[in-house]
Structure 1
């Protein structure tokens, strides 16, 4: 059942219940009013009979009562006179008015009929006038009119609900129709955004934003697939070429061929590893998180590096992260720095207690990165001309992977200003106790982005130091 049908049915049922209750309420109120009118009429007749008796009239009722009876009952309970319908009846009631100024009101049942009865004190006894009590359905025409009005109200509410919901849900039907037209190969379309109601406009806006993100994601996947195909083609082509040459020329130097194949396989292996890392990051695969001293991780990774990589590492930069991923991030940054450096690379780690961050800086003395390209180099498969000149076998994924690892750990990675070369600055939130460590401890150092100058400082500590 559709929402429109369900809502209309509920509105009809609720309106029907209210109409029935209102109908019975009106009938009950009408009955009470009719009983009040009958009692007032009976009291008027009783007063007239009392007046006649008081003036010395006959003891028999002189005022006819349509559908009712009149009795004059003595004080000892004997019926002195009655109207013709009540001849031979016993007294209507044994109740008496309290005083001459009061009357008695009540309802008696005689011969299975309820009678509205009013009694007034008169000379020689009490005059009682009784008339039949009106029933709940004493006016069939009025009842039919009230019932018809109730049914009309139910019908009008049902129709109004159906029409209102049809108009209100029209934007949803248009959005659904537009969504049916959108396919995986055509994500450029958007659903219409109605002005009213506001909720549907917000829904349409959210759908369009989702479609926009989906379009960007699909476009990124398509570009990624194209870039991967292009990058894989080069090492595979190199392998194929060298194998074809070796097979076609028996005099080919086997050692040189194997060395070339080994180089091509290495490049292919590095590329596949980078691609697997990107896929894992995109998939949001869970990784083990533990308290890690960033200075210790960097120190352990730099042991295998040449002496041209200087280091200034401070203990106390404790972060919550994955040791393997952080090591890969450092490796990618240092590999990039070594590839572009002229003579030296400096790696620094220190806690920024005031900002609650652990900072890793990798600085080289190469040509640097132009400001216009500082964000572009973090895009996948992007390699600047200088990078291609220095290393034609890079994948263009190292810096992209480094930034994504930083973002997964809740941090940032950017290129800061530097007088000479490139300066990569990683900032990660400090974990636990390290984040709340007060300034002035042995773990505190300078926190400005210009720490140690812009570039490799002349007074920097000697390489291979860990404090």
Structure 2
């Protein structure tokens, strides 16, 4: 077992050493490997085809010569000397007794070849015939008036061998040069293609926590690297925006906490040193009220932190929104119009907080009445919560600004009422976390807030009419 572990560690070490570390090197190695395999297969195929073609031509030439001699032999016109045609080195005719009955001029008087075998044979040389070059011999058996004879027709392989050797040498020299060219071109092209990636990496590595305003360079064109650079810049935009929002949130929270803490401290210091018990009791009562406001503000800040962190997944518990409104409306003077089966998937405590914040905001700004309605929109398959107050109408420019954290359109009145400008932002964040929306919609008078939440898909029956 120990030896196997050492062998595996050795193989792992060798693999890590031999595997190129950069994308550029790996791409070059992969391209060279593919081209090398392709060149090897193509070279072998080329040499095989060339060899088959050259030997096929030699065989055709030798067989043609043998067929001419065969016609003479079958007609009884065969002489002792046989003329040679183009592309043939020798011709020898041997009878059944192994005697040479005819031959070409260059092998007259030579012993019989004395071979029997396949129709086509190759020899490195025929010394008995005085031929030293490689030969391809074609054997043809024919019947003559004097009996069967074997016609041996030979063609030199020198030209074919020279052509094969030249081609092999050319491939042997050309393929490495071509492979080297492929490596150089791939290395250059990959390096040029990856240069923007390195520029992006260097810029991202140089961006610190206080330098989120910097952006990576965007190369020209519309390829994958350009889209990567745009995606990186989009991510940096979101990080920069999140950082600025966080800093602004901390600054606003510090500002909101500084004033009540200072007032609370002043009240307590005066109460400690004041001789009149009645005045001291009033100061302590005011300090308790400020402490309650601080406690509410701290709870809102903690709730916002939870919302910013987000739930691990969107809550799916079926929540009856009309029931939440009824529970939040106890002890309030409200006009209700609530539909039945207005069920939305969500988190009960969070949706209850959304309803409470909308009702608190409506009561704070209403002159005399607040109307609350819950219905289902079958066209969009949503649960719609509408809260209307008959107070001052919101200007179009303020309809989005009121959802910004710590924003109060009437600062003095909101402070007296205990508002910190967090109720509506919290309500909108809760709606967004549930896949819904919270907006200010047009109304003839006053201000109307509309929250839309996805309807629970398990709700089967259609909503009934509203309750009074």
TM-score (norm 2): 0.81
**Counterpart check, 1:157 vs 2:178:** no
In the TM superposition, residue 251 of structure 1 has moved relative to its aligned partner by 4.8
The alignment partner of 1:6 has SS state of helix
Matched residues in 2 for 1:59 and 1:255: separation?
A: 151
Instruction: Name 1:59's counterpart in structure 2.
Output: 80
- C-alpha deviations, 1:63-97, integer Å up to 9, x for none? 699996643222455554677699555632278xx
Secondary structure (helix, strand or coil) at the match of 1:159 reads: helix
Q: Does 1:14 align with 2:41?
A: no
Q: 1:163 to 1:123 in 2, by over 3 A?
A: farther
How big is the shift at 1:267?
0.7
Residue 212 (structure 1) shift = 1.2
Contact between 2:367 and 2:391, CA under 8 Å: does it hold in 1? yes
Task: Give, in whole Å, the separation in 2 of the partners of 1:66 and 1:431.
Answer: 93
RMSD of aligned Cα (Å): 3.4
Q: What residue in structure 1 maps to residue 306 of structure 2?
A: 280
**What does the per-residue CA deviation read over 1:316-356, in whole Å, with 9 as the maximum and x for residues that have no partner?**
21221222111111111111122122222222223333442
Name the SS of the counterpart of 2:211 in structure 1: coil
Gaps of at least 5 residues in structure 1 are: 96-104, 446-465
> 1:193 is paired with a residue of what secondary structure?
coil
Tell me the matched-pair count. Answer: 432
What is aligned with 2:169?
144
For 1:73, the equivalent position in structure 2 comes to: 94
1:289 aligns with 2:316: yes
Q: 1:73–1:374: structure 2 CA closer, same or farther, 3 Å change rule?
A: same
The residue correspondences of 1:126-275 to structure 2 (distance < 5 A) are 126-131=150-155, 139-196=164-221, 198-249=223-274, 251=276, 253-275=279-301
Deviation of the 1:43 alpha carbon: 3.6
Deviation at 1:394, TM superposition (A): 1.7
Unmatched runs of 5 consecutive residues or more in structure 2: 1-20, 127-133
Q: Which structure features the higher share of helix residues?
A: 2
The Cα offsets for residues 269-305 of structure 1, whole Å up to 9 and x where unpaired, read as 10011111111111112475321221111111211x2
1:455 — aligned with what?
none
Shift of residue 132, structure 1, vs aligned partner: 6.5
After TM superposition, give the deviation of residue 385 of structure 1 in Å: 2.1
How far has the Cα of 1:7 moved from its partner? 1.0
| Secondary structure class of the residue paired with 2:340 | coil
Give the alignment's TM-score, normalised by structure 1. Answer: 0.81
CA distance in 1, matches of 2:108, 2:364: 126
